[in-house]
Amino acid sequence: MEKPVMCKIIDIIDESPTVKTFLLDNEFDFKPGQFAMVWIPEIDEKPFGFSSKNSISIAKVGKFTEKIHSLKKGDLLGIRGPYGNNFECIGTKILAVAGGIGSAPVISAVEAFSKLGVEITSVIGGRTKDELLFLDRFEKCGKTFACTDDCSFGFGGFTTEKMLELLLEEKFDMVITCGPEIMMKKVVEIAENNNIPIQVSLERYMKCGIGICGQCAVDDEGLCVCKDGPVFWSDKLKFVSEFGKYKRDASGAIL
């Protein structure tokens, strides 16, 4: 197992009340959708997706992420990776659907595909206006529709509702998505009902990040999110019965 690269935090961006982006003094040759194992010395190591070649965006959801959020400029993080597969660019017109912290891996794909001349339409969601992530970056890449659960900004409602509206007006060659799993399951259903190929980025508890420990295996298929994912085509997810209703404890056991 490779050793972490120790990186200095050179800047911290408050993206929302619960999400911070940590800019590092090292650039990583990652592909959109890949992740890194982020290590705090003497604390723990957890997986997070890259939001750019030198940044990791992290939502505060537990003790480990609370510790990361307490770090300051000049502090060190260990980065191991990049790992996993990535979003593939198929076609010339792509719809991106992202919710919450799922916007981090999606924005990296949207920016990369946009540079290839692909026409991108993005639908991003948050519970409130303050929780919409990377809105300015999405808007620079193409048409962007912001959705808020509380109707405080943009489209008042779910990303899936806006997706349905768009599909009545336009056709897309592919859909990519990342966000709450219940949202992604609905996005997959909508895409498949419209015969559109779709790639989905999953999140699971991980320890090794390279397919050895098996903690991130899904169902009886033996697929490891770290090695076989985190990005999956929807045909693979048909055999994952926990998709869309997944909930595990810190050991990785299904609740």
- Give ∠ CA 142-144-147 in degrees, rounded to 5: 170
The response to whether 216 counts as a known ligand-binding position is yes
The DSSP element (H or E) to which 159 belongs, if any, is helix 159-169
The annotation status of 178 as a binding-site residue, yes or no, is no
Q: Whole-angstrom Cα distance, residue 128 to residue 160?
A: 16
CA distance 25 to 248: 34
Closest CA relative to residue 166, chosen from 202, 190, 139, 200: 190
**Measured between alpha carbons, how far is 252 from 223 in angstroms, rounded to an integer?**
14
Token readout for 58 is 């992290």
Q: Which helix (H) or strand (E) holds 22?
A: strand 19-24
Q: Which residues are annotated as a binding site?
A: 208, 213, 216, 226
Q: Which residues are annotated as a binding site for [2Fe-2S] cluster?
A: 208, 213, 216, 226
